[in-house]
Amino acid sequence: MTFETIYKTYYRKIFRLCMGYVNDQEWARDITQETFITVWEKLDQFRNEASIGTWIFRIASNQCLRQIENQKKMPRSEIPFEIEDQATSNSETDGKIKLLYQCISELPETDRIIISLELEDVKQAEIAGIVGLSETNIRVRVHRIKEKLSQKFSQYERSDRF
Amino acid sequence: MKDQIDFKSLWQQQEVGSVPALEEILGKAKQLNRKTKIKFFGMNFMMIATIGVIIYILMSNNFEMITTKIGAVMVIMAIVSFIAVSNSLLLILFKTIPDETNQAYLQRMIEIKKKQEFIQGILMTGYFILLSTGIALYMIEFVLKMGTAMGIFAYSITIAWILFSWFYIRPKTVKKQQAEIDLIIRKLQEISTQIEGN
């Protein structure tokens, strides 16, 4: 697979993963860029032990985890509360999308990665290979995170309504 | 009802914006590579040049006292150890390829950060001891040739500088470095526990 094909196939997926992690468009774009720079640099070292997708998602999720070093750049408390724009957003769906990403970014770091990969339709066996847990663990975790997410989502929706 | 929220569909609808041109990414990658190399070689070049100048001074002047030479060697050692440690830290970071599982990557980052914390602490202390002693020894020969008053003056200034850097600059630098690394280590461990604590 050439770098160009990889880039075109995975850019959007990686961006969404980063967006789920930081919930900030600019920051997510930066991490996505760092990811592809690493992919470009290390592509010749890629061995087919894992699928290319698993390999790229591993790099991207590790780049996300590495953002702790850049946290001064934007401490969590100062992350713009993007759902505030909800009232002015174009449609109800836009508001829901923002709300979903906001809810995900409030989860613990590894949960953010797991649920983002799950929503990106990555197989649970592959998620296990990315995070470093067993497939059974991932299945349980995904179930728990989804429940948590649904609760948060409904809470926000309710508070927005009243 | 809750289960009916179609998260997958919402997730996929996230506005991604325009995908930057491939050339842009490649350009940035190459630029970054170049910058890292320039930084790496530039730092080494500056250090080696400094050592060269010191060796040249030692060779071109006929110093009578052994303390002058020992002093100069100690200053060189301080500089060399600084280059060696900084380079090795830089190399470790270069070699960290983020294509391991999240868990393995976190563990490796924790190890690197702990190593960095340890090395930086020792390095700063060693660097100050070598540099200060080196300078003090190197000065003996020149001070002896000055008058007593000038000698006392020269040493007072040097000792004042040494004390200031030892008791103020060194602890402050070490403390600041350690605090930053400590925070990162704590956070990395916390995330690692999220995985292990499953």
Local confidence band at A55 (pLDDT 50, 70, 90 cut-offs):
very high
What is the C-alpha end-to-end distance of chain B, expressed in Å?
28
Yes or no, beta carbons of A58 and B17 under 8 Å apart: no
CA–CA gap between residue A65 and residue A139 (Å, rounded): 21
Return the pLDDT at B198.
58
Which of A40, A100, A108 is closest, CB to CB, to B11?
A100
**What are A92-108's pLDDT values in tens digits?**
778 888 889 999 999 99
Q: Which of A150, A155, A114 is nearest to B4 (CA)?
A: A150
Yes or no, beta carbons of A131 and B101 under 8 Å apart: yes
Chain B residue with minimal CA distance to A138? B198
> Has residue A52 got a pLDDT over 50?
yes
Question: Which parts of chain B sit beneath pLDDT 70?
Answer: 1-4, 93-97, 197-198
Chain B residue with minimal CA distance to A154? B2
CA distance A73 to chain B (A): 14
CA–CA gap between residue A112 and residue A133 (Å, rounded): 15
In three-state form (DSSP H/G/I as H, E/B as E, the rest C), the secondary structure along B86-111 is HHHHHHHHHHCCCCCCHHHHHHHHHH
Yes or no, beta carbons of B191 and A133 under 8 Å apart: no
All residues at 6 or more sequence positions from A147 whose CB lies less than 8 Å from its CB, including other chains? none
Local confidence band at A86 (pLDDT 50, 70, 90 cut-offs):
very low
pTM of structure = 0.78
Least confident segment among A51-55, A76-80, B32-36: A76-80
* Residue with more model confidence, A85 or A66: A66
**What are A109-120's pLDDT values in tens digits?**
999 999 999 999
* Residue with more model confidence, A87 or B66: B66
Interval A44-56 mean pLDDT:
83
Residues B28, A112 contacting (CB under 8 angstroms): no
> Has residue A81 got a pLDDT over 50?
no
Half-sphere CA count of A39, side-chain side, radius 13 A: 32
The ipTM (two decimal places) reads: 0.82
For CA atoms B19, B25, B28, B33, give the dihedral sign: positive
Half-sphere CA count of B118, side-chain side, radius 13 A: 6
Partners of residue A46 in chain B, C-beta under 8 Å: 99
> Has residue A67 got a pLDDT over 90?
no
Return the pLDDT at B1.
41
Return the pLDDT at B59.
82
